[in-house]
Amino acid sequence: MTKGFNTIAVETHGDGVHRNRSHTVPIDRSVTFEAASVDEHRRLYQTRSAKFYQRFGHPTTAAAARKVAQLEGAEAGLVFGSGMAAIATSFLAVLRGGDHVVAHQGTFDQTRKLLEGPLASLGVTTTFVDARDLRAVEGALRPETRLLHVDSPSNPLLHVIDLRAVADLARPRGIELFVDSTFASPFLQQPLALGATLAVHSATKFLGGHSDVMCGAVAGAAGLVDRIRTTQILCGTLLDPQGAWLLLRGIKTLGVRVERQCASALAIARFLAGVDAVAEVRYPWLGDTPEQAVARRQMRGGGGVVTFRLAERRDAAARLLERFQVIRIATSLGGVESVGELPYDLDFQADDAGAGAADRHRGFVRLSLGLEDLEDLLADFHQALGC
């Protein structure tokens, strides 16, 4: 039978076999595993078994990787110690000196620094373009382009990229398309079904969902994932068994959490759009533009993050965050608690062009909606805004 997303998310084994066994995946703390013979020991090594040595694979982390792959509709998956570990390992697996990358100009700033720093020192060049403009993407492609990397929705301005259209540019040229789908989660968007070759997540965020585990994940075709796994073994960018178990626990409620977060985020976005002190609201399902049409076409909901700008900019935004009583000031997103931050006070660059862009961006607030009652969140805004 065909199973729905939430059914897949909560299943422990998913093999249809009913027998006396654990109802949740066990946390196996062992780093190394015994073999019955020298020949078997060699076979375990050669096949990179999940029961050889933890850096090569592990039963608990393997279960988490399979679950992510199932949710993405992928042949295979891998989990890592952080989202950046997932991105860096995946880049290193496919790029060599002389290769060229085209990346969305609004890509996560740490990803940009990775491309402009360590990878550039290895001879990899990168062209940053507004990937919402397909002509700009196509114009940036070269014979040596090996990778197209986009974030959709992007962090923090929630740009939405037409993944199917971008994939149509990459696929005929044999170019890998990596999509950082952290802000959507597999519940809202499945990049592989839209033509991407790899879905990437900071699983710390919506997948984990409880702000208690740092991890990353990728999912894609078995051959590509195997290449990334080889690099992971060499770099040691693995996730520990306890973290894998926490990720599996968080995934069980992913669908119901994100559905609730989407509803609250859309309501907050609509509320903010009617507040005089708010100059701009960014949310994938708010408004009637070509970008919002793309979001509705390729996502099941707008996500749990709202980014908005106050007319008085940075000082007013800081005062607003400090007046909140329910919403807390904290980095990260996708957890059960609502948090906010001023992203351009941190390590984000102004990725929208135009005069005064840097100053304008200082007034943006990135808000991640949790599972609090919507009435309480709205009341917190009313008292903080004094309206």
**Over the stretch 37-90, which tens digit does the pLDDT of each residue have?**
999 999 999 998 999 999 999 999 999 999 999 999 999 999 999 999 999 999
> What pLDDT, on the 0 to 100 scale, is given for residue 359?
58
Q: How many CB atoms lie within 10 A of CB 338?
A: 25
Give the CA angle between residues 177, 195, 186 to the nearest 5°: 90
pLDDT category at 313 given cuts 50, 70, 90 is confident
Task: For residue 305, give Cα distances in angstroms to 269, 270, 378.
Answer: 9, 13, 15
pLDDT at 349: 64
pLDDT classification of 186: cutoffs 50, 70, 90 = very high
Q: What is the DSSP string of 147-161?
A: EEEEESS-TTT----
Q: What ranges make up the beta strands (E) of 185-287?
A: 198-201, 216-220, 278-282
CA distances from 284 to 35, 155, 178, 183, 305 (A): 52, 12, 20, 11, 9
Burial of residue 272 (CB within 10 Å: 0-12, 13-18, 19+) is: buried
* Confidence category of residue 355, pLDDT binned at 50, 70, 90: very low
Asked if 219 contacts 76 with a C-beta cutoff of 8 angstroms, the reply is yes
Considering only CA atoms, which of 302, 291, 234 is closest in space to residue 263?
A: 302
Tokens of 308: 């908005």
- How far apart, in whole angstroms, are the C-alpha atoms of residue 46 and residue 214? 30
Instruction: Say which range, 119-133, 233-247, 248-262, 306-320, has the weakest mean pLDDT.
Output: 306-320
Residue 198's DSSP bridge partners are 178, 220
Mean pLDDT of the chain: 94
CA atoms within 13 A on the CB side of 272: 29
What is the token pair recorded at 25? 């995946």
pLDDT confidence bin for 255, thresholds 50/70/90: very high
- The H or E element containing residue 251 is helix 241-251
Helices 83-94 + 222-235 axis angle, to 10: 110
pLDDT reading at 1 higher than 90: no
Q: Give the pLDDT band of residue 315 (cuts 50, 70, 90).
A: confident
pLDDT at residue 309 greater than cutoff 80: yes
Above 80 in pLDDT, residue 121?
A: yes
- Of the ranges 83-92, 94-103, 357-366, which one carries the lowest mean pLDDT score? 357-366
Q: How far is CA 199 from the centre of its chain?
A: 8
- Name the token pair of 318: 């800081």
In this structure, of 93-107, 267-281, 304-318, 371-385, the range with the lowest mean pLDDT score is 304-318
What structural domains does the chain harbor?
Answer: 5-251 (3.40.640.10), 255-385 (3.90.1150.10)
